[in-house]
């Protein structure tokens, strides 16, 4: 019988997050160039890693969810999800429900600013689902 330890699962998850963080960093650089410009060199990739880690903390597994957590962290601060407004909505429900609730907690102004920065709201379908 194969036995996988918790530390092994964590290592697998960390290995999965690295390419995801690179994709998120590339997407931010492409769709949010002003935000990307504020971070120098490897800082953007490190920030994307941080966003992936924060998403995993809340069991948000999809690439779109990790992207949204990362861009909200850019807009609201790297530990925005420690705010009770967010901890309350991230604690229960399906992943899709929690992401929608997180966006609602962020306020329409923040979400609209992020969409406007991307230049086209249709480019982020996961913000609308």
pLDDT, tens digit, for every residue of 3-13?
Answer: 777 676 565 56
What is the model's pLDDT at position 112? 76
pTM score, two decimals? 0.78
Over 70: is that where the pLDDT of 16 sits? no
For the packed helices 108-118 and 63-76, what is the interaxial angle rounded to 10 degrees?
110
CA distance 33 to 10: 32
Please report which helix (H) or strand (E) contains residue 16, including its range.
helix 6-31
The string of pLDDT tens digits covering residues 89-128 is 999 999 989 988 998 898 887 777 777 666 655 555 454 4
Q: What are phi and psi of 3, to 5 degrees?
A: -120, 125
pLDDT digits (tens, 9 = 90+) for 22-68: 999 998 888 888 888 888 778 999 999 999 999 999 999 888 889 88
Quote the pLDDT of residue 21. Answer: 94
* CB proximity list for 37: less than 8 A, separation 6 or greater: none
What is the distance between the alpha carbons of residues 25 and 112, in angstroms, rounded to a whole number? Answer: 20
Contact (CB, 8 A) for 69 and 60: yes
What pLDDT, on a 0 to 100 scale, did the predictor assign at position 80?
Answer: 94
């Amino acid at each position: 019988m194969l036995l996988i330890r918790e530390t092994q699962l964590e290592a697998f998850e960390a290995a999965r997050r690295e390419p995801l963080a690179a994709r998120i960093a590339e997407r931010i650089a492409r769709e949010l160039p002003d935000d990307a410009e504020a971070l120098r060199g490897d800082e953007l990739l490190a920030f994307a890693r941080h966003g992936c880690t924060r998403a995993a903390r809340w069991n948000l597994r999809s690439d779109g969810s990790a992207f949204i957590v990362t861009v909200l962290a850019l807009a609201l601060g790297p530990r925005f999800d420690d705010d009770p407004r967010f901890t309350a909505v991230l604690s229960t429900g399906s992943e899709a429900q929690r992401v929608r609730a997180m966006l609602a907690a962020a306020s329409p102004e923040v979400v609209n600013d992020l969409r406007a920065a991307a230049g086209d709201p249709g480019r982020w379908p996961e913000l609308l689902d």
